[in-house]
């Protein structure tokens, strides 16, 4: 199935819950509302025509310094889905505000989401509702803040031992 047909399928099924679609440089993308996210992902995985059996990647982007988007929702959580059977891809995005950075977990759909979501929590401070074990993945427990946020200075060090420079 080609990308445009996938987006059509999603729009037909979820209507206004699909907020926006585009296919910049051949990557087909659907921005969906947070309430519908879980249903959209479940549909993507289970529908025979889509059959997205691999959650290839899950990450986030902090748009707080992006020209023209400073006032919009701060974060975008990005899901890259791939289907081995049909050899097609789609990108699903969901936007969340900083003071309500909570996204439903995809852990029960794809177990790999467990670690990907832990990484997003670690790096961006976005929480995942229903995640069984939301610990930091890469940084240590004592670390304060979320380094990939645009307002975290790259050289703010928090050493466990030794000088902080």
Residues in CB range of 149: below 8 A, 6 or more apart: 62, 64, 123, 124, 125
CB of 8 to another protein, least distance (A): 21
Residues numbered 120 to 149 that lie near another protein (CB under 8 A) are 123, 136-140, 147-148
- Does 16 bind another protein (CB under 8 A)? Our answer is no
When the beta carbons of 11 and 89 are compared against another protein, the nearer one is 89
**How far, in Å, CA of 59 to CA of 53, rounded?**
18
Q: Which residues of 17-41 are buried (b: 16+ CB within 10 A; e: fewer)?
A: bbeebeeeeeebbbbbebebbbebb
When the beta carbons of 13 and 98 are compared against another protein, the nearer one is 98
Number of residues that bind another protein (CB under 8 A): 48
Residues in CB range of 85: below 8 A, 6 or more apart: 51, 53
- Does 98 bind another protein (CB under 8 A)? Our answer is no
| Total count of residues recorded for the chain | 165
When the beta carbons of 14 and 152 are compared against another protein, the nearer one is 152
When the beta carbons of 35 and 84 are compared against another protein, the nearer one is 84
Helices marked H in the chain: 3-14, 34-46, 113-124
CB of 125 to another protein, least distance (A): 14
What residues line the site for another protein (CB under 8 A)? 24-27, 29, 53-57, 59, 61-62, 65-67, 78, 80, 84, 87, 89, 91, 110-112, 114-115, 123, 136-140, 147-148, 152-163, 165
């Amino acid at each position: 199935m080609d990308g445009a047909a996938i987006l059509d399928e999603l729009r037909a099924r979820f209507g206004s819950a699909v907020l926006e679609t585009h296919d910049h440089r051949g990557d087909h993308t659907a921005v969906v509302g947070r309430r519908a996210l879980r249903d959209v992902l479940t549909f993507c995985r289970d529908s025979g025509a889509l059959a997205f059996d691999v959650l290839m990647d899950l990450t986030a982007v902090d748009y707080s310094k992006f020209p023209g988007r400073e006032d919009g929702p701060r974060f975008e959580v990005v899901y890259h889905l791939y289907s081995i059977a049909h050899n097609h891809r789609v990108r699903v995005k969901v936007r969340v505000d900083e003071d309500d950075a909570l996204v439903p977990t995809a852990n029960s759909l794809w177990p790999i989401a467990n670690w990907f979501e832990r990484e997003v929590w670690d790096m961006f401070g976005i929480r995942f509702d229903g995640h069984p074990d939301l610990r930091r993945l890469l940084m240590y427990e004592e670390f304060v803040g979320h380094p990939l946020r645009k307002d975290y200075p790259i050289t703010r060090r928090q050493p466990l031992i030794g000088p902080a420079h």
